[in-house]
Structure 1
Amino acid sequence: MRHGGQILVDQLARLGTTRVFSVPGESFLAVLDGLVDSGIDNVVCRHEGGAAMMAEATGKLTGRPGIAFVTRGPGATNAAAGVHVARQDSTPMILFVGQIDRGHRDREAFQEVDFRAMFAPLAKRVAEVDDTARLPEYIGRAWREATSGRPGPVVLALPEDVLSARAEVPDLTQSPSDIRPTYLGVAEDAIGWLAQAARPLVVVGGPGWTAEAADDLAAFAEAQNVPVATAFRRQDYLDNRHPNWVGDLSVGMNPKLAERIRQADRLMLVGTRFGDIESRGYTLLDPAGHAQKVLHVHADPGEPGRVWRADVAVTATGPDFIRALAQHEPAGRDWTRWTTAARAEQEAWEDPRESPGAVKLERVIRWLSDTLPEDAILTNGAGNYAAWLHRYFTYKRFGTQLAPTSGSMGYGFPAAVAASLEHPGRTVVCLAGDGCFQMTLNEMSTAVQHGATPVVVVANNGRYGTIRMHQERTYPSRVSGTDLANPDFAALARAYGGFGATVEADAGFAEAFEAARASGLPAVIELRLDPEALSTGQTLSEARAAGAARG
């Protein structure tokens, strides 16, 4: 006879869980008890949003569900931000939420929330366990659902009395092995379809990618000599030095790459939903009707045709289909001129555009790109500062970009903590804006406690830069709600027990970074940027002038 918390932890251990992220609550004390001798590392976080984002990042890094535990009510609502990231990024994740006793339901008891209703639009599935003996069943199903088809987050609510009750129940049996199709015949048809193009473009993205898939993609691109673009924040799916890589479809994408999408007569979309960001707000293709023919490969059979009219729809994961494509001979079409021109446009786009001030973010990013080990992991949240990273950093290996396609601020630092714990031998660098970092910087305490050692580079321009850019373009010179009063970030890092440095001129960055890395501590390097440095393509004054010109 084991209590429910012990049953739950035993099931997670059998499934291969080695680390969970949590903010403790009295609603799941039995789980905390079960973790004591389990061999599973319980990373105690400072905010449920940080815990959920760390779990999501772990899911991205490993391909296995990242696990987070939070308490009912405010704990669950705080964690919702991380669940949303997992949903939009198609990341396997399980959020366990403590819940009130079953006998207290529907009385608006202390911290009572209907989690099925609350998480329904955010999670792939939401369930509440009503029977201690059925915990293995629910956990096994949650694991399977989080990883199958289009991966995503599953939320399991755990009433306190279900966790504290005892039951005699067998442990989970081994998860079933998947028999995966080869897709060779379908891939042959896809190559034939592609061969009819005069101006083809392949876009890859979505979940489940691997280093082997990156190698297969390179082989396919070389054999067919076709241009390949990577979806938003999936930039590490192909070595950016590869002659067939023509850029990433990010918020600040190369305008010439956007024009290539408009000009393409056949688009092969592999693994990606090709959503709002990749399509520039659904303007590069019109969902009501587009001239480009589309072959859409996705693990969810309901995705092709949901937004874009797919001439050919294939139900498969991106890596599985790319493997089949890589085994085929050339299609017999010569796209050399089209591909070479697209690659040249990307290389020109990478030439730095000088930003104002003594600290130039483009030089910092280029130094990181040229200096860091090829397996260094780069994380970021949301903000204009990230556009410098997308444009000027060369991703060389798969598994080195960790960023939210959902555009969640505050994500970069928790993700960096999770990455440092998962890969303690690798360099982990978080690029954060001053506003972005302040959303989750309290997890510095988590990093110190558990031995994570990421280096955070804070781009401090004293404002919410993205919103300020849009504000100046729409309501020039009418500033409201976008200026920030910031702390001394370096001093704050030292107060937490980490390393801190401030850089006020380019020449000081390399020395500060090497000192941060040598410290063996979680580190913060604050870059004091000129407030004029608003985006990679526009200064604050230019944005204001453009807004005034539009009236």
Structure 2
Amino acid sequence: MTAAAFKSSAEAVPQSGARLLVSTLERLGVEVVFGYPGGAIMPVYDALAGSKLKHILVRHEQGAAFAADAYARKSGKVGVCMATSGPGATNLITGIANALMDSVPMVCITGNVAQGLMGTDAFQEIDILGVTLPIVKHSILVRSAADVPAAIEEAFHIAASGRPGPVLVDLPKDVQFATTSDDYGFHIPNDTPRIDHDAVAAAEAAIRAAKKPLVYIGGGVKIGRATEALRAFVAATGIPQVSTLNALGTIPTDAPGMLGMLGMHGTRAANHAVQDSDLLIVVGARFDDRATGKLAEFAPNARIVHFDIDASEVGKLRAANVAVVGELKDGIEALTARMAGGPALDIQPWVDECVDAARTSAYRYDAPGEGVYAPALLKEVSEAAGDAFVAACDVGQHQMWAAMHCRFSKPEAHITSGGLGAMGFGLPAGIGAKLADPSATVVTIAGDGGFMMNIQELATLKRYGIPLKIVLIDNSSLGLVRQWQELFFAENYSEIDLSDNPDFVKVAEAFGIEAFRIDRRDQVSDGIQRLLAADGPCLAHVVIDPRDNVWPLVPPGKSNAEMMEGS
């Protein structure tokens, strides 16, 4: 911990560590905290009463972490969650890992047993710092009440600066009870890496030498608040673009030069453009295996210009010919200025080729039959909601359909568990996103498998009257696992049958939430209108054919050029 000026006053009113925690959160501008109380964090909950903080009582600590994660993604602020020691703390772990994988700024505050009991196997004692060491950006064990303000300030700074991530702050119970008149302030260091303008010049030269350049957009653009800068670069150069899952909406998904998502479930136009390109301008992406497919055959003819704030990502999986390390916004703006000062790029044949490929391989929505076709339904939901649409997606087939078929006008409109792929994310994430922006039309898109993992958060929706809309796509199976078993495991359907699901409409109604069922295509438009027009939370239970698959698909271990197409 870095201590700056030490302040002490004989007249200062002593405050407990718990009260200092709450007052520091208030001073830092925190408005919403997600949590669940318990014995080791009870002093903090005592101090919460009468504070300016809005505490959201979730019904499982994993829900608190996921909700705080989505709150951060939608608001651009640091998400905050709290839990008690032992099982409360360990229930946060999946959410903490999720935030690390997707670089989400989050501060997780846990209570712990008193310091004198640490190491004695006390009731609900767990070494949560040790347990979470591989999945946090940083962690702090607060040893005295006087250290609480500086610890919280440091946690917020670390969570939000550079490449964001989760920070754990562990508060022993004796620290929460202890009183102090002292206050150690945290000195915020100026540690932002400066852009190397020689590297930017080298990036310009590489772009001007290319005949088939392509912008490969990663989630770091949104995280680095560089969306407008990248849009300006694309407008100035006309270079076509592809997007990772977590970057969808950075360039509106229906923009002319946006070829769509690349990778395992990417568009044919995006994957073939990557394979044919001679230069990839990689902005805030990390060459994830779901995006690259067989890495040795990924973009075989392309040189790499890599922009990233995290130097450890540059060259980690693919060597960069040019590396620009630092704030993405600064690097992209510097590159755009240089490009604007020179002649226009001579890439029109390549642009025409990419746009024509996108047009000729565009998705079709005229699937036969009377049953609900999920891609068409999700496309219609996003279009009906318009620019206010925000999708909080769970993980599975529905997640891929949403990524492929929904319209996203901005990057914060698409919130999903990307790197970790955590089922159960959708419902609490929808809660966090809606609380972050009440004016948005937030729609949780979930499958029956993931929805059951945090279904208890329907009680949170009801308690706080959060008008979240839920599209629950039910194929009575673990759909993505079933699809892989069909294609790659000789149709050995092992443990994917969920045909004993409850009646989700009745379940939602039991929680006091409006719900209805859609199982025919002619019900879709009216159902979407009813869902979006509902005053409060509402669930649309959408029944689809269990045999429906997500297409296209790059088989495991194959190049992105080897895409499978379904019937």
Note if contact 2:284-2:328 (Cα within 8 Å) is conserved in structure 1.
yes
Give the corresponding residue for 1:351: 363
Note if contact 1:132-1:167 (Cα within 8 Å) is conserved in structure 2.
yes
Q: 1: distance between equivalents of 2:492 and 2:199?
A: 56
More off after superposition, 96-105 vs 349-358: 349-358
Give the corresponding residue for 1:302: 312
Q: 1: distance between equivalents of 2:128 and 2:149?
A: 20
Give the corresponding residue for 2:333: 323
Note if contact 1:352-1:362 (Cα within 8 Å) is conserved in structure 2.
no
Q: 2: distance between equivalents of 1:180 and 1:306?
A: 19
Match of 2:476 among 462, 477, 499: 462
Structure 1 SS opposite 2:358: helix
CA, structure 1 residues 480+182, in 2 after alignment: closer, same or farther (shift >3 Å)? Answer: closer
Match of 1:397 among 400, 406, 410: 410
Q: 2: distance between equivalents of 1:345 and 1:39?
A: 54
CA, structure 1 residues 480+180, in 2 after alignment: closer, same or farther (shift >3 Å)? Answer: closer
More off after superposition, 218-227 vs 248-257: 248-257
Match of 1:447 among 449, 454, 461: 461
- 1:533 aligned to 2:548? yes
- 1:36 aligned to 2:45? no
Q: 1: distance between equivalents of 2:343 and 2:133?
A: 45
Give the corresponding residue for 1:368: 381
Give the corresponding residue for 2:533: 518
Match of 1:504 among 516, 519, 524: 519
CA, structure 1 residues 278+356, in 2 after alignment: closer, same or farther (shift >3 Å)? Answer: farther
1:139-171 alpha-carbon deviations (Å, 9 max, x no partner):
111111111111100111111111111111237
Note if contact 2:106-2:167 (Cα within 8 Å) is conserved in structure 1.
yes
Which amino acid in the other structure matches residue 350 of structure 2?
W
CA, structure 1 residues 293+477, in 2 after alignment: closer, same or farther (shift >3 Å)? Answer: closer
Q: 2: distance between equivalents of 1:281 and 1:23?
A: 43
Q: 2: distance between equivalents of 1:121 and 1:179?
A: 24
Which amino acid in the other structure matches residue 369 of structure 1?
S
Instruction: For residue 8 of structure 1, report the CA deviation from its aligned partner.
Output: 0.7
Q: 2: distance between equivalents of 1:152 and 1:44?
A: 23
Which amino acid in the other structure matches residue 438 of structure 1?
M
Give the corresponding residue for 2:496: 482
Mark the runs of 5 or more structure 1 residues left unpaired by the alignment: 539-551
- 1:491 aligned to 2:506? yes
Structure 2 SS opposite 1:156: strand
Q: 2: distance between equivalents of 1:25 and 1:347?
A: 56
Q: 1: distance between equivalents of 2:329 and 2:244?
A: 14
1:513-545 alpha-carbon deviations (Å, 9 max, x no partner):
32233332211101111122122348xxxxxxx
More off after superposition, 214-223 vs 458-467: 214-223
Note if contact 2:514-2:539 (Cα within 8 Å) is conserved in structure 1.
yes
Structure 2 SS opposite 1:428: strand
CA, structure 1 residues 480+503, in 2 after alignment: closer, same or farther (shift >3 Å)? Answer: same
Q: 1: distance between equivalents of 2:403 and 2:141?
A: 41
CA, structure 1 residues 284+278, in 2 after alignment: closer, same or farther (shift >3 Å)? Answer: farther
CA, structure 1 residues 441+218, in 2 after alignment: closer, same or farther (shift >3 Å)? Answer: same
CA, structure 1 residues 104+140, in 2 after alignment: closer, same or farther (shift >3 Å)? Answer: same
Q: 2: distance between equivalents of 1:107 and 1:171?
A: 30
After TM superposition, list the pairs within 5 Å mapping 1:33-432 onto structure 2. 33-170=46-183, 172=185, 186-207=199-220, 209=222, 213-280=226-293, 282-285=295-298, 291-327=301-337, 328-329=339-340, 332-352=344-364, 354=367, 358-406=371-419, 407-432=421-446
CA, structure 1 residues 212+73, in 2 after alignment: closer, same or farther (shift >3 Å)? Answer: closer
Instruction: For residue 82 of structure 1, report the CA deviation from its aligned partner.
Output: 0.7
Q: 1: distance between equivalents of 2:417 and 2:357?
A: 26
Note if contact 1:151-1:207 (Cα within 8 Å) is conserved in structure 2.
no
Structure 2 SS opposite 1:302: helix
Which amino acid in the other structure matches residue 268 of structure 2?
P
Instruction: For residue 182 of structure 1, report the CA deviation from its aligned partner.
Output: 7.0
Q: 2: distance between equivalents of 1:121 and 1:346?
A: 41
Q: 1: distance between equivalents of 2:335 and 2:368?
A: 42
RMSD (Å) for aligned C-alpha atoms: 2.3
Q: 1: distance between equivalents of 2:508 and 2:189?
A: 46
| TM-score normalized with structure 1 length | 0.92
CA, structure 1 residues 403+344, in 2 after alignment: closer, same or farther (shift >3 Å)? Answer: farther
Instruction: For residue 174 of structure 1, report the CA deviation from its aligned partner.
Output: 8.5
Give the corresponding residue for 2:31: 18
Q: 1: distance between equivalents of 2:244 and 2:52?
A: 38
More off after superposition, 83-92 vs 173-182: 173-182
Number of aligned pairs? 535
Give the corresponding residue for 2:564: none
Instruction: For residue 217 of structure 1, report the CA deviation from its aligned partner.
Output: 2.0
Task: Choose between structure 1 and 2 for higher RCO, CA contacts under 8 A separated by at least 6 residues.
Answer: 2
More off after superposition, 340-349 vs 177-186: 177-186
Structure 1 SS opposite 2:388: coil
Q: 2: distance between equivalents of 1:163 and 1:357?
A: 61
Note if contact 1:211-1:398 (Cα within 8 Å) is conserved in structure 2.
no
Q: 2: distance between equivalents of 1:425 and 1:326?
A: 33
Structure 2 SS opposite 1:155: strand
Instruction: For residue 211 of structure 1, report the CA deviation from its aligned partner.
Output: 11
CA, structure 1 residues 208+202, in 2 after alignment: closer, same or farther (shift >3 Å)? Answer: closer
Which amino acid in the other structure matches residue 30 of structure 1?
P
Q: 1: distance between equivalents of 2:70 and 2:147?
A: 29
More off after superposition, 331-340 vs 488-497: 331-340
Mark the runs of 5 or more structure 2 residues left unpaired by the alignment: 1-13, 554-567
1:313-367 alpha-carbon deviations (Å, 9 max, x no partner):
2212333322333333155431122123223323444322527651111221221
Q: 2: distance between equivalents of 1:171 and 1:10?
A: 14
